[in-house]
Amino acid sequence: GGFVYAHGDIVGQTGVEYQYESALQGVRGEQTVYVDAAGNVLSHSTSIAPQSGSDVVLTIDANIQKAAEASLVSVINTVRSQDFQGRSASVVALDCTNGEVIAMASYPTYSPSMFVGGISSSDWDTLSSEEANYPLMNRAIAGQYPSGSTIKALTTFAGLKYGICDGNSSWYCTGFWTGFGEQYGMHCWLLSGHGTVNLITGITNSCDIVFYEIGKGFFYNNDHPEGMQETFRAFGLGALSGIDLPEEASGRVPDAEWKWNYFTSSPDDARKWQGGDNCNLAIGQGDLLVTCLQMANAYCGIANRGPIYKPHVLKSINARNGNGSVIEYKNEVILTPEEKDEHRDIVARGLYGVVYEESASQTVHWTNLDVTVNGKTGTAERQSVGEPVGWFVGYAPADKPQYVVAANLDCAPSGAGSGMYIVRDVFGAIYNQPDNVGR
C-alpha cells in the first residue's frame, strides 16, 4: 500500500523532494494507549518504532550551483540595463561522462519555505502568474524555446551524413539568399554578407546561408527529405530525456506530418511543408522547440563523440536505519548518435572557432580560462514577443570533454550578450577561474 500521511506531515511538493518523497518520508511511529474514563493509562499495546527517512544524496555541486544561480541574476540585470526585458533564464551543467547534473538553475525563482505549513492563495497566485514570469516553472527542463543557431552543429551532421554537403563544400554569402527564387529570399543575420564560407567557417561565423543551403538540399532529397529531423531526434530533441525530476517538457521537432495536423484550420497550401520550413529548421527558427536540458544533452553527444547519458540529480539513497545500506544511481546511456569521426572533427573545429575566432570581444571572456572550450551562440527571434532568446552551449576541456553547460535567456540582446556570460560563469566556478573582464 501507499504511504498514509497524517495531518501536519511535511511532504515534498516540487523538484527533488517530490521525485524522491517515498525515500525521504520514512515510517511514522505508532503506539496505542488504553485509558479509563478519568484518563489514567491502563496499558500500552504493541507499537511501531519510527524510522527516519533515507538521505537522498545529489549530484549537484553546491559551489557551482551557487555560481549558476548568482550568474542568472547578474546577467538578467545586465540585460535589463540595456533595455531588454530579460524575462527569465536557465542553465544546466552536466558531467557528460555519466549524466550527472552538476548544477541547474532557473530564474525567476522562489523560496521553497513559502510552502511549509501551507501556502496562501495570494502567494500561490504570484508564483503561478504570467506577470511574475511563472517562478514555479523549472525553465531548465520545462521552458521550451526555439534553439536559434545552437542547432547548426546538428544541421551540419545531418548534411554530412546524408550527402547534402561534404568537407569541401563552399558557398558564397552576399547577406541575402535566393535559393528558392527571388520572391522567397531570406536574409543572413549579417546583412553585408560573409563572402566565401564552408562548413567550419559557417559554424564559426554562424552564417545562415550555409544552413539554408543544407535545408534546401534536404527539401529536394528523395531518400531522406527529413534527414535533419532524424538527426535532431538522434541527439535527443523532441523527446523526454527521463531526468529524475517532475515536469520535464519534450519540446518539438516539426516535420511535414506535424505541420499538416497542427494547422487544421489553414488552407491546404499553408499546411504543406515548404522549402522555407526546412530553412527555418536548419537555423533553429520556426516551429522547433527545445529545452535547455535537451541542448545540453545534444552537446553531450557532440562532446562524447557518441553516447548521451540519462541526466540525473540523484547520486545515492543512504538508509538511516538497519544496516545503513546505500542505493547508488546506475548510469545509463539513452542515445548513441552515430557520426563519422571526420564529420565530428569538422563540427568541433567550427565550435572552437566560435569561442576563439569569431569575435575578439567574445574571445576575451574565454582566454582567461586555462581549459579550451568549444561552444555555440544562438539568438532565436520570435515575432510574437519581439525580443529574442539568447543561447550558449559549450563543453570543456575541448580535447577530453567532461562538462557541458547550456544556458538561455528570454528577451535578451543576443546569445553572446546573455547565455555566453552565464556559461562562462559556470565554467569559472568549475575551474575556479572567474571571468574578470567587464561586461
Q: Where are the domains of the chain?
A: 15-53, 59-439
| Cβ neighbours for 169, distance < 8 A, ≥ 6 positions apart | 198, 199
pTM for the structure as a whole:
0.91
Q: How far apart are CA 14 and CA 19, in angstroms?
A: 8
CA distance 50 to 102: 34
Asked whether 419 and 408 are in contact (CB, 8 A), the reply is: yes
Quote the CA–CA distance of 21 and 15 in Å, as a whole number: 10
How far apart CA 378 and CA 151 sit, in angstroms, is 8
What architecture is domain 59-439? 3-Layer(aba) Sandwich (3.40)
Q: Which residue type occupies 187? A: H
| 292-311: b (≥16 Cβ within 10 Å) or e | bbbbbbbbbbbbbeebbbbb
Low-confidence residues in the chain, pLDDT < 50: 1
- Segment (H or E) for 250: none
Q: Specify the residue for cell string 539554408.
A: 212
Dihedrals phi, psi of 263, to nearest 5 degrees = -100, 60
The answer to whether 370 and 431 have CB atoms below 8 angstroms apart is yes
Cell numbers placing 123: 502567494
Look at residue 161 in the predicted model and tell me its pLDDT.
99
Which amino acid, one-letter code, is at 306?
G
As a dihedral over the C-alpha atoms of residue 99, residue 245, residue 120, residue 9, rounded to 10 degrees, the angle is: -110
pLDDT in tens, 179-229: 999 999 999 999 999 999 999 999 999 999 999 999 999 999 999 999 999
Report residue 93 as a C-alpha cell. Answer: 551543467
- Residues contacting 188, CB < 8 A, separation 6+: 173, 175, 176, 177, 194, 207, 208, 209
Q: What is the pLDDT of residue 65?
A: 97
Residues 297/308, Cβ–Cβ less than 8 Å: yes
| pLDDT attached to residue 2 | 53
- The pLDDT score that the predictor gives to residue 50 is 67
